[in-house]
Structure formats: structure tokens, C-alpha cells
Chain A
Amino acid sequence: NAGVTQTPKFQVLKTGQSMTLQCAQDMNHEYMSWYRQDPGMGLRLIHYSVGAGITDQGEVPNGYNVSRSTTEDFPLRLLSAAPSQTSVYFCASSPDLWNTEAFFGQGTRLTVV
């Protein structure tokens, strides 16, 4: 049982490049979410999904797109990377919306130069 798997673990982008951060879970969880964590800060919610085909914005959605075509996968797309998007990104999943344990991936450390 792999849990929540994020790829890649590290990435360096140039300003203006696009990329997709991958997140996959094998627990058949309905709820998935993306957070970013800046140095010395807590986690901030970017986007979340309550099930396949349903997504919604979190606290800091600008500059990011998501889609949820399957229960297992919830990719996060950066359309045109900016230095302000340098951060550590965490994906999480849970069986429902926070009334149970949420499982987090190990993070993707992104640097935009």
C-alpha cells in the first residue's frame, strides 16, 4: 500500500515554464487536496477535490490549475511558473472531508529561477 505518492520530489523551473506536479493515491479516497508551504509558514490550501470531476479553489489558487479525471490522480499544473511559486508542495487525501485522518505525500520541492 503506497499511500499518497508525489512526483517529482525536486524540480527546478525557469520563469515562464509550465509543468505538472503529480499526485496519486491508492486508498480509493474521495477527497484530495494540494497545499503549498513556504519557509517558516504553515500549509496553505491551493485547490481541492471532493471526487472525480469535481474541484474547487482553496486559499491561494492563482497560477495553478487542477483536474480530477480519476479517483486516484489529482495533478497540479503550473501554467507559467513565477519565482513566487517557489515552495514545497504537498498533496493529501482522505476518505471524506476532514472528519477522518488525512494522508499526506512527502512533498515536491519546487524552485523557480
Chain B
Amino acid sequence: AQSVAQPEDQVNVAEGNPLTVKCTYSVSGNPYLFWYVQYPNRGLQFLLKYITGDNLVKGSYGFEAEFNKSQTSFHLKKPSALVSDSALYFCAVRDHTGRRALTFGSGTRLQVQP
């Protein structure tokens, strides 16, 4: 069975500082990894994905994530946080088999203070 762990319920960071939201995963074989963001009363918006290739992937709104196979991690990062980045962030995984459904982590609330 596949699973995702987001160890922090909330991350607080000052505007302009770098941010990291942590994610580790468990899956059989090679993973497909995703980050989504959810703003209040909205659906999940796709940010970025790792399929294969470069371990550092870049996505929307200046976010990037680094795939680390040995540590089974896929941490979300941004060099300089904005107040508007405050939202709920979900990491998700699926494997390379026919099962297409994503398994999500519990979510991390990012709070960026002015």
C-alpha cells in the first residue's frame, strides 16, 4: 500500500524568508509525486509533479520540490515566501502501476506572516 506523511500540521514563516514543507512517501517501485495547494473554500490546485528525470522540479508561483529517492522525500520549497502563499498544502503519491488514484498526505497549513 502507498502512503504519504506530512509531519508538520503547520509551518510558520516570515514573508521574504525561504519556506520548506516536508513530505515523505512509501510506494512500491518508482513514485509519481505531486504537490497541491488548497485555499479556503476552494478545490485543490495542482502545483508541481515529479515523474522522472531531474530531481529538482519547478512549478507554479515560484514553488519547487526536490525528489530524494534514498530518503523517500519530496519536500516543497520556495526561496522567498509571500503572505499570499498562506494556504493548505498537500503532498500526494501514486505508483507506476495501473492504479491511477492519488494517495494524499494529511496536509500542512502554511502561515506566512507579514
Our verdict on whether A and B bind, yes or no, reads no
Chain A contact residues, CB within 8 Å of chain B: none
